[in-house]
Every structure is written in structure tokens, then in C-alpha cells.
Amino acid sequence: MNSWSEMFQQQPIVSKMITNSIKKSRISHAYLIYGDKGTGKVELAQLLAKSIFCKNKQGYEPCQTCLDCKRINSGNHPDLHKIEPDGASIKTEQIAHLKKEFNYTGLESNKKVYIIEHADKMTDNAANRLLKFLEEPSQETTAILLTENSQSLLATIRSRCQILSTRPLNSKQLELKLMETGITEANARILTTFTRNLAEALEKSNDTWFAQARKLVVQLVEMLQNNRDEVPIFVHTQWMPHFKEKNQLQEGLDLLLVWFRDVIHYHMDDPSSIVFLHQMEKLEQASMYWSIQDITKHLQTIMEAKRKLEQNVHPQLVIEQLTLQIQR
Ligand SMILES: [Zn+2]
């Protein structure tokens, strides 16, 4: 993300707030940007720093080609300091070092910017030290604190910052981010059906329980089409042992909902909406077996089963009824 015009696509509100303050030359002494992993916090901080240092900027847009912009891109601008956790935490010495660096005047200007990533990981001592630093702001210093968890920061630090929050990614953006990490399109699409949070999606992609849950859903549906007699034993020996907890069972039913919605999308020749992308053949078989009307009824039945689970009806009973009701 190299320009504000790109950033506006992903994070319009925060971008608007920051670029307004750049336009009016009213940049705060301290910003706290919080939001989920992958929502562009680091990129926002980097862009703000560029807009502060770039001498050829057009309005608020940095030029990307001057020495300042290039140095920021390569991570070695002398007046931009970044702090990240050293191991599990950000330690007092790291903040002390920052303070010392800031006592030197800049070569070309007195402007200084520091970015603290995972600011919630500061030890209590480090946080108190930073607080003192924030309490004596020099005219030309800008602090940018980033966190996924703003509530873990000292209230006294938060109160000194202009607080900005990034919005979660939409499903398409998250899908692309997941695919950048090597996850297939089919898997990325299923993951984004369950979460809009990159960290959670990545965790789920490595979750063997979730992978097995998906398989069981496909198996159950196949059995409902082809071997109805074997469904009770399948529910008893495979389904129930896997979906032991109520929330797990809800997730299993959510997958079942996704599957049947996919069959409807298949019927309607709308492949771009299909989630179980790697099961097209089975979706085709299901669409020949069940009409759209059948499936609409099944979706209602599954929703009803989810409600019963919430009302603490015995899980095994809920699933047995559900599989009986899903008929042709
Ligand atoms: Zn520039």
C-alpha cells in the first residue's frame, strides 16, 4: 500500500481523518491506531510518516521518489524509529534508547516520528517511561502506536493519543490476503465465511479439527443422498464424537448451511458465490437430487436445529431429527 489513494479503498475513514489533519497541518503528537491483524495499521503509519517527511508531496500524497520517501521504504530513515517487541514484550531499555536518539537533532529538520508496533506488549515500566515521553511532547515529534488490542494499553497513554480504528477486511480482501500466504482459493473462501479476522483465519487454516469438520459435512450430505439407512450409525459413530461441544456442533451446522446454500448457487448458475469450490462435482450431484424448493426447506430445518441447540435440546436428538427431516 504505497499511496493514500490506495489506502482510501481499504480504510476510508481512518485515511480521511489522517489526510485531513495533514492538509490542515494539524498532525497530532500521538496517534493510537488499533484494529485487527492485516487491516493496514503498519501501512497507515508508514504513509503518515512519509507525508510528514516528504518534501515533494502533492497535497497529502507523498511523492515516493525523493530521498525521504525512499529511505522510509527501505526502512532506514534517520528520523523515523520503529519499535517492535523484543521477544514477548517491549522493554524499558527500548523506550529509553528511543528517548536518547531523539535528543539528537535531525540533520535536515527537527521532525521525528516513532512507530511502536504491538504497543500493548509494553511492560509496565516501558509504558510508564513512554507516558513521560508523551507528556513532554516536542513540537515536531509524532508518536504512532499500533495495536490489535487497545484496551490493554494504559488509560493514561490512550488519553494522550488521537485514537483511530481500522475496520475489518471485507471477505474479498481477506480472501486475497489469505491467498497471498499460499492458501488455496477454495480454502480461503471457506475460512472467510467463518471469520473476517486474518489471524483467526490463519489459525483456522491450520486447524485439523476444522478440516475434518468440513469432510464430515460433505460425507453426511452424500449419505443423505445415497445411503440414508447408514445415516444414524454415521451420526452416532462419526458426527457426534467430532462435534462434542455445543459451539462445535453449531459450527458443523453452519458448514451444512453453507453447503446447501452452495447447492442453490449451483442451481442458479452463480459460481462466484460458491464457497465449497473444490467440491463442484458433489454440488452438481446434490443439485440433481434436490430442487431449490427442497433446499430452501432444508435451510429452514437447519436453522431450526440451531435454535433448538441454543435452547439446550439434547444435541444427539437435534441431529437425529434434522437428518430425518432432510428428505427428498
Ligand atoms: Zn517524497
The burial of 163, by beta-carbon neighbours within 10 Å (0-12 exposed, 13-18 middle, 19 or more buried), is given as middle
The answer to whether residue 184 sits within a structural domain is no
Q: Do residues 89 and 160 both lie within one domain?
A: yes
Between 198 and 118, name the one with better pLDDT. 118
Q: Do residues 16 and 132 both lie within one domain?
A: yes
Residues 182-210: what's their mean pLDDT? 91
- Residue 80: what are its φ and ψ, rounded to 5°? -115, 120
Domain count, the chain: 2
**Model confidence at 328: pLDDT above 70:** no
Q: Do residues 9 and 153 both lie within one domain?
A: yes
The answer to whether residue 200 sits within a structural domain is no
Q: Do residues 300 and 162 both lie within one domain?
A: no
Reduced to 3 states, what is the DSSP secondary structure of residue 82? strand
What separation in Å is there between the alpha carbon of 288 and the centre of ligand 1? Answer: 60
What separation in Å is there between the alpha carbon of 194 and the centre of ligand 1? Answer: 41
pLDDT at 100: 84
pLDDT at 196: 83
Q: Do residues 21 and 118 both lie within one domain?
A: yes
Band (49; pLDDT cuts 50, 70, 90): very high
Residues 265-274: what's their mean pLDDT? 93
Cα 273 to Cα 264: distance, rounded to the nearest angstrom:
10
Alpha-carbon dihedral 137, 149, 41, 10, rounded to 10 degrees: -130
Q: What is the DSSP letter of 117?
A: T
The answer to whether residue 197 sits within a structural domain is no
pLDDT at 327: 72
Cell triple for residue 188?
480461503
Residue among 194, 152, 142 at smallest CA distance from 171 = 194
Q: Who contacts 283 (Cβ-Cβ below 8 Å, separation ≥6)? A: 262, 263, 266, 274, 276
Q: Do residues 22 and 139 both lie within one domain?
A: yes
Domain that holds residue 110: 4-167
Rounded to 5°, the CA angle 190-195-197 comes to 125
The answer to whether residue 100 sits within a structural domain is yes
What separation in Å is there between the alpha carbon of 142 and the centre of ligand 1? Answer: 18
Q: Which amino acid is at 126?
A: A
Q: Are 17 and 164 in contact (CB under 8 A)?
A: yes
**Model confidence at 204: pLDDT above 80:** yes
Q: Do residues 221 and 115 both lie within one domain?
A: no
Averaged confidence pLDDT in the chain:
92
What separation in Å is there between the alpha carbon of 61 and the centre of ligand 1? Answer: 9
Q: Do residues 142 and 39 both lie within one domain?
A: yes
**Model confidence at 74: pLDDT above 90:** yes
What separation in Å is there between the alpha carbon of 102 and the centre of ligand 1? Answer: 22
pLDDT at 243: 97
The H or E element spanning position 33 is strand 30-34
Cell 528520523, located at residue: 79
First-last CA distance in the chain: 51
User: Could you tell me the CATH number of the domain that includes residue 248?
Assistant: 1.20.272
The answer to whether residue 72 sits within a structural domain is yes
The answer to whether residue 308 sits within a structural domain is yes
User: Could you tell me the CATH number of the domain that includes residue 87?
Assistant: 3.40.50.300
Q: Do residues 26 and 119 both lie within one domain?
A: yes
Q: Do residues 148 and 214 both lie within one domain?
A: no
The answer to whether residue 216 sits within a structural domain is yes
Lowest mean pLDDT among 20-29, 136-145, 200-209, 242-251: 136-145
What separation in Å is there between the alpha carbon of 71 and the centre of ligand 1? Answer: 9
Domain boundary among 146, 167, 188: 167
Cα 270 to Cα 295: distance, rounded to the nearest angstrom:
16
What separation in Å is there between the alpha carbon of 53 and the centre of ligand 1? Answer: 7
Domain boundary among 167, 185, 219: 167
The answer to whether residue 202 sits within a structural domain is no
pLDDT at 110: 79
Domain boundary among 135, 167, 199: 167
